[in-house]
Structure 1
Amino acid sequence: LVHELGHALAARALKVRVGTITIHGLGGQVEHARTTPGRQLAISLAGPGAGLTLGMLTLGVAAAIPAVTQSDVGSSIVADLLFVNIVWSVFNLLPLFPLDGGNALRSGLALFTREVDAWRVTAGVGLLIGAGLVFLGWTSNEIFLLYIAGSATVTNWRILQELPAR
């Protein structure tokens, strides 16, 4: 929820109209009006930025108040908050669609090149990274990673197939 609020608040701060925020089992999505590549770049990075900020605040509280982690419950809560906010935020910055890193790379490239080329490069990079993550998930028997990476790989493949020919 903090992650999606980061996207929504960044969009509003940049005067981009925000629609609905949808939360689902694997994250969420903020619908907003189409905007410039620079603004989209900032909006894409704001979600992981919000998660990383909350993760760092969690670390700070745990360090400043050691009693927080002295119970099993407190230690478990801190560990879960760190995982969700730091690990997932960093993972979400990988440059593959539909992750924020993919949207950020596409937006950054679109500042300097045609939008279709930005989509093509990002989906190509995403396809390679996704395939690598599928291999990692398969060889390490990490079913969840295999599922996420497989889904992202298919998404990037489909994007490449749907782009107009050069």
Structure 2
Amino acid sequence: MILSEPQPTQADLRFQIADIPVRVSIGFWAMAALLGWNVSQSLAEGDQRAILYYLIAWIVVVFVSILIHELGHAVAYRAFGQSAQIVLYHFGGLAIPDRSTVGIRKPWKRLLISAAGPGSQLLLVVLVVIALRIGGYEFSFPIRYVGHWLGFDQGRPIDSVIAKVVIWHLLYVNIFWAAFNLLPVLPLDGGQITREALELAGIQDATRAAQILSIFAGAAVAWWAFQNQQTYVAFMFVMLAVSSYQAVNTSGPRWR
């Protein structure tokens, strides 16, 4: 499975938040650097030292954002009586429940656990925006017409270029990555939310229905990503669509 926990290595970074174990695979840093390289080059405009600064800023934002996402899941697991650990790796992050405890069986609880990840990212966006507005700062909002409508382009300027970049990255990553994660593609959060919602709606084989929807949604996102030169996103969603197709064929009658 492409979204399974990678094997531990001695190069992994390990720490705890409260009593939630966190492991960061070396592949996570490589993924973050790869995704941020082009935008860092563009911002630096040929200044080699600036590229490094912008790339570090991007990597830190990605690390914090994905960690907050997975903490949302882990805290939700704990709220329902199940411990979990966090792993950050080359495809993002995982909140892995403790196999020694009883699983979460009620669909509405599983739905809330899935929603807690992207929900925590969107909460971070709200907190950042509130802090900037209290400070009276103007800032660029990733959804331009929303920012203009809410008056985010009015106020005193932020003097630090790096601070502007960090704020932009924080808002961009935690809005759009959360939105992508809410797409009905398994095993992303949106796919799991869809599955639990279908089960709550009384659909007899909710898992299979969610898998079929995941095939088409994943293929559609991959096509869009290819059209927009988003190679990494396209590759990932092709793999997710194929994974859902394989799951459909192994869980029931094969398509003819």
Q: TM-score, normalised by structure 1?
A: 0.90
> Residue 247 of structure 2 aligns with which residue?
159
Shift, 1:96, TM fit: 0.7
The partner residue of 2:183 within 70, 85, 94 is 94
Shift, 1:139, TM fit: 2.0
Q: Which moves more between the two structures, 26-35 or 52-61?
A: 26-35
Which structure has more relative contact order (CA 8 Å, sep 6+)? It is 1
Report the secondary structure of 2:240's partner residue: helix
Unaligned stretches of 5+ in structure 1? none
Instruction: Give 1:6-25 correspondences, 5 Å limit.
Output: 6-15=72-81, 17-25=82-90
Aligned-residue identity in percent: 31
Structure 2 letter corresponding to 1:55: V
Structure 2 letter corresponding to 1:62: L
Shift, 1:44, TM fit: 0.3
Report the secondary structure of 1:69's partner residue: coil
- Note if contact 2:78-2:84 (Cα within 8 Å) is conserved in structure 1: no
Aligned-residue Cα RMSD (Å) equals 1.8
- Note if contact 1:3-1:48 (Cα within 8 Å) is conserved in structure 2: yes
- Note if contact 1:96-1:102 (Cα within 8 Å) is conserved in structure 2: yes
Report the secondary structure of 1:155's partner residue: helix
In 2, the alpha carbon distance for the partners of 1:68 and 1:153 equals 44
Q: Deviations over 1:107-149 (max 9, x none)?
A: 11122233xx111111111111111112112222221221121
- Note if contact 2:115-2:193 (Cα within 8 Å) is conserved in structure 1: yes
Report the secondary structure of 1:60's partner residue: helix
- Note if contact 2:76-2:116 (Cα within 8 Å) is conserved in structure 1: yes
> Residue 110 of structure 2 aligns with which residue?
40
Shift, 1:70, TM fit: 3.3
- Note if contact 2:74-2:85 (Cα within 8 Å) is conserved in structure 1: no
Instruction: Give 1:7-156 correspondences, 5 Å limit.
Output: 7-15=73-81, 17-32=82-97, 33-35=102-104, 36-65=106-135, 66=137, 69-111=158-200, 112-114=202-204, 117-156=205-244
In 1, the alpha carbon distance for the partners of 2:93 and 2:119 equals 15
Higher normalized helix content (fraction of residues): 1
Q: TM-score, normalised by structure 2?
A: 0.60
- Note if contact 1:133-1:146 (Cα within 8 Å) is conserved in structure 2: yes
Unaligned stretches of 5+ in structure 2? 1-66, 138-155
In 2, the alpha carbon distance for the partners of 1:57 and 1:27 equals 23
Which structure is larger by alpha-carbon Rg, 1 or 2? 2
Between the two proteins, the alignment pairs up a number of residues equal to: 163
- Note if contact 2:185-2:215 (Cα within 8 Å) is conserved in structure 1: yes
> Residue 31 of structure 2 aligns with which residue?
none
In 2, the alpha carbon distance for the partners of 1:29 and 1:53 equals 19
Shift, 1:68, TM fit: 7.7
- Note if contact 1:62-1:78 (Cα within 8 Å) is conserved in structure 2: no
In 2, the alpha carbon distance for the partners of 1:19 and 1:11 equals 7
For the structure 1 residues 101 and 151, does the alpha-carbon distance in structure 2 shift closer, same or farther, using more than 3 Å as the test?
A: same
In 2, the alpha carbon distance for the partners of 1:80 and 1:150 equals 26
For the structure 1 residues 68 and 158, does the alpha-carbon distance in structure 2 shift closer, same or farther, using more than 3 Å as the test?
A: farther
Shift, 1:81, TM fit: 0.7
